[in-house]
Amino acid sequence: MGIQTKITYRMLERISHIHRKIRSGCYPNTKQLAFELESGIATISRDLDYMRDRMFAPIEYDFTHKGYYYTKAFEPSMQNYLSEKDLRVLLSAKVLLSHYKNTPIYDEACSVLDLLSTSAMNGKNTALLNRIAVAPTVETAVNQEIWSTIQDALNKSHILQFDYTDRWGKQTEQRRLRPYQLVLDDGVCYLFGFDELRNAERIFSLVRMRNVIVTENVFELPEDYEFERHCKDGNFGAVFHQKSEHYKIEFYREARHLVKEKVWANSQVITESKDKTIIEFDSTQFLKIKAWVLSNGCNAKPIAPAWLVKEWKRHAVEMAKMAEETK
């Protein structure tokens, strides 16, 4: 078997982690690295051998500290070891990231991708990249200073204080938040965490935050902090409510085909009859579901919950009045 000269991006992830740990001076060993990377000890040993033999990393084992260290300063040129296929994957990721080109995360991520891939693709076939495109969407600009302040709070687990205007622009309140995660949704950036004013977990749009400061108050990040657990089977984006509800919606005409093209919720059940398609599911994402139903106009009719039926009827009446006024 020949000596491996190129590495996959999965191996790159492991080697990058191993490099950071060794460079930090904490003397990691194969058992610790295998646990952190959720890999086998044999896999980590092969990665270390590759770093020594192919990347000429000055790695030695310290028997006193029972871990690995660098005998001299070392920074690997990762792009020299990636396969052409994986370089194309990285460059394709940059294209997909353009969905967030007005957010600071785009510049940060692209700088890393460029470092790893662009120079190594010189003279190689990049025609496929021109065949990948991201459709234009409504753009939301994020303030760089606010973004940096939030990142600082996330890194330190410090409580944030800021003024926040609600989605209807009617009320501005000062909030104190234990920030858990930045959430990206359809080109919009949100901050998810524990709102001390509401004494509950909430999500905030970054563009409606003002006067953001990092306080000196430290909080402990809970084990179950992930945003995804609040979606409760629904796949409608970032906005959620504390209560999960059961939805039943009828679709007609051309909407019948479209509703079957996506998984709207993990619990969804779709049934067919002669003139309609019925979808049922549970979700906490009531605002997005309401907008989804209304966006289908006369091709969608909610059956449950009761509040959605009431809201749908109210909008239908208002639109009927507006239609009469335009005659």
The SS3 call for residue 300 is: strand
**Residue 3 within any structural domain of the chain:** no
What is the pLDDT, as a whole number, of residue 155? Answer: 87
What is the pLDDT, as a whole number, of residue 2? Answer: 44
Verify that 76 and 88 share a domain, yes or no.
no
Verify that 318 and 236 share a domain, yes or no.
yes
**Boundary of a domain, candidates 180, 205, 224:** 224
Query: What does the alpha-carbon distance between residue 87 and residue 116 come to, in Å, rounded to a whole number?
Result: 8
What is the pLDDT, as a whole number, of residue 1? Answer: 39
**Residue 1 within any structural domain of the chain:** no
Domain range for 63 is: 9-80
Verify that 154 and 127 share a domain, yes or no.
no
Verify that 70 and 101 share a domain, yes or no.
no
**Residue 169 within any structural domain of the chain:** yes
Please choose, from the candidates 47, 48, 71, the residue with its C-alpha nearest in 3D space to the C-alpha of residue 58.
Answer: 71
Verify that 20 and 69 share a domain, yes or no.
yes
**Residue 97 within any structural domain of the chain:** yes
The CATH number given to whatever domain includes residue 46 is 1.10.10.10
Verify that 163 and 188 share a domain, yes or no.
yes
Query: What does the alpha-carbon distance between residue 56 and residue 50 come to, in Å, rounded to a whole number?
Result: 8
What is the pLDDT, as a whole number, of residue 119? Answer: 47
**Boundary of a domain, candidates 174, 202, 224:** 224
- Beta-bridged to residue 308, according to DSSP, are none
- The tens digit of pLDDT for each residue in 134-143 reads 566 666 677 8
Verify that 76 and 90 share a domain, yes or no.
no
Verify that 64 and 97 share a domain, yes or no.
no
DSSP H/E element including 248: strand 245-251
Give the residues of the chain that fall short of pLDDT 50: 1-3, 119-121, 123, 125, 128
Torsion angles phi and psi, residue 326, rounded to 5: -90, 0
Only one residue has tokens 């059961």, namely 246
Verify that 293 and 257 share a domain, yes or no.
yes
**Boundary of a domain, candidates 180, 209, 224:** 224
Query: What does the alpha-carbon distance between residue 48 and residue 93 come to, in Å, rounded to a whole number?
Result: 27
**Residue 314 within any structural domain of the chain:** yes
What is the pLDDT, as a whole number, of residue 60? Answer: 96
What is the pLDDT, as a whole number, of residue 244? Answer: 85
**Residue 268 within any structural domain of the chain:** yes
What is the pLDDT, as a whole number, of residue 147? Answer: 87
Concatenating the DSSP letter of every residue in 127-144 gives GGGGG------------H
Given a contact cutoff of 8 angstroms between Cβ atoms, the answer to whether 90 and 113 are in contact is yes
How many separate domains does the chain show? 4
**Residue 136 within any structural domain of the chain:** no
Reading across the β-sheet that carries 188-195, which strands appear in turn? 200-205, 188-195, 172-185, 158-165, 209-218
Verify that 236 and 305 share a domain, yes or no.
yes
Verify that 217 and 236 share a domain, yes or no.
no
Verify that 217 and 295 share a domain, yes or no.
no
The CATH number given to whatever domain includes residue 160 is 2.30.30.520
**Residue 212 within any structural domain of the chain:** yes
- The tens digit of pLDDT for each residue in 216-246 reads 999 998 888 888 776 656 677 777 777 888 9
